[in-house]
Structure 1
Amino acid sequence: MFECLILGDSTGVGTAQAINARYERHCDVQAAERATAAQVLSWRRPGKRYNTCIFSMGSNDMAGPALAARLAEIRAQFCFNRVIWLLPYARPQAYTVSSVAARFGDETLDLGRFRSRDGVHPSRYMDVAEALLR
């Protein structure tokens, strides 16, 4: 059974819709269009513990130490068996997200593997969902 929390920005919203459309057991979603890491930090934490968490953050932030600090703070507040970060299309932000994921020993899925019309969002979220659920 794939039970998860998807946390983050518009890519998280799209990924959640694709996963929840495909599977009977849905992921809970705390994601919003144009969400920044600072905004995610201000959101109320879920009372439930999840086996898997998918983080989709960084696309709406400037890359660098401030983003890395916010992402690390978000990550430190969650205790899951498995965490997967979606790496943004923008390479500077992807590097920052990847460095935080490596610090915590988390998995990553590089959105750069998937076609995009705007360089921010995947053309087909179902492709991302399938890669996550393999």
Structure 2
Amino acid sequence: MNLFDVVLPHPHLQALYPEGINGDILIGRVEFSSGGHIFLTLHTKERPSKEIAKWGLYGRDFNTVSITLSVCNAESVYISGWYMAGFVPIDIEQQKDICVIRQCNGGCKIEIKAEFLVFQSCSVYLS
């Protein structure tokens, strides 16, 4: 299952990655806020399908896209070995009305159970 299977459709995100993101992803930020709000910032080095003029050229002006998502109706979040997080594949599983997002990178383990995800924003940087 692809990450975008559990993200509510958004035209900008679909234009950037019409086939979803197939490469490795870094879960670079997990932000907890009042009212049970959780935000994820995912980083991918996968080249977008569409050029965005204000971003410049992929490979010259940027090589990483940062995507912020809102986690809706989170059931649970588990994180261990956070300092070892890196670019690795992400596993998505649908369990009844809950999606499970998992990532394991040696000693880093992340698991988020939520109803769905909503696209918030995109930015880019050169690493």
Q: Give me the TM-score of the superposition, normalised by structure 2.
A: 0.29
Q: Which has the higher helix share?
A: 1
Q: TM-score, normalised by structure 1?
A: 0.28
Higher relative contact order (CA 8 A, sep 6+): 2
Of structures 1 and 2, the larger Rg is shown by: 2
